[in-house]
């Protein structure tokens, strides 16, 4: 999903965002609404493995001016990403958001000029 979104042209943006939202809805269907993490009260390996999707989705939203995560389409997943991304142990391991956006914006522009 993330690589595909980075390779799209402006006219493909809405279709790619729609496909990405469907993928995220599938991911959301695996979450337990009664538990803050994946089925337990502790952060699990799966939580850590998947949280980057939320971080990169936010980056893509900012970069490409699309909506991937919102409270209408994926309320539980959106809440889960906000909750997990707000944990100090997770924050310490993520690259600075602005630098990530700048890096991938540059990558996207370079990729688009070579097409």
CATH of domain 2-113: 1.20.1050.10
Confidence bin at 101 (pLDDT 50/70/90)? very high
pLDDT tens by residue, 22-67: 999 998 888 877 766 655 567 878 788 888 999 999 999 999 999 9
The pTM for the full model equals: 0.83
Q: What is the DSSP letter of 99?
A: H
Element housing 78 (H / E): helix 75-85
Widest pairwise Cα distance in the chain:
47
Sorted by where each begins, the domain ranges of the chain are 2-113
pLDDT at residue 38, as a whole number: 58
């Amino acid at each position: 999903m993330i690589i595909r979104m980075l390779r799209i042209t402006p006219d493909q943006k809405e279709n790619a965002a729609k496909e990405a939202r469907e993928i995220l809805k599938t991911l959301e269907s695996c979450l337990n609404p009664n538990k803050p993490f994946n089925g337990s009260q502790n952060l699990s390996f799966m939580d850590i493995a998947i949280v980057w999707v939320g971080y990169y989705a936010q980056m893509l939203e900012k970069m490409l001016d699309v909506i991937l995560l919102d409270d209408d389409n994926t309320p539980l997943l959106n809440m889960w990403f906000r909750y997990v991304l707000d944990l100090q142990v997770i924050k310490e391991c993520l690259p600075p958001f602005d630098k990530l956006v700048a890096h991938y914006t540059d990558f996207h522009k370079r990729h688009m000029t070579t097409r």
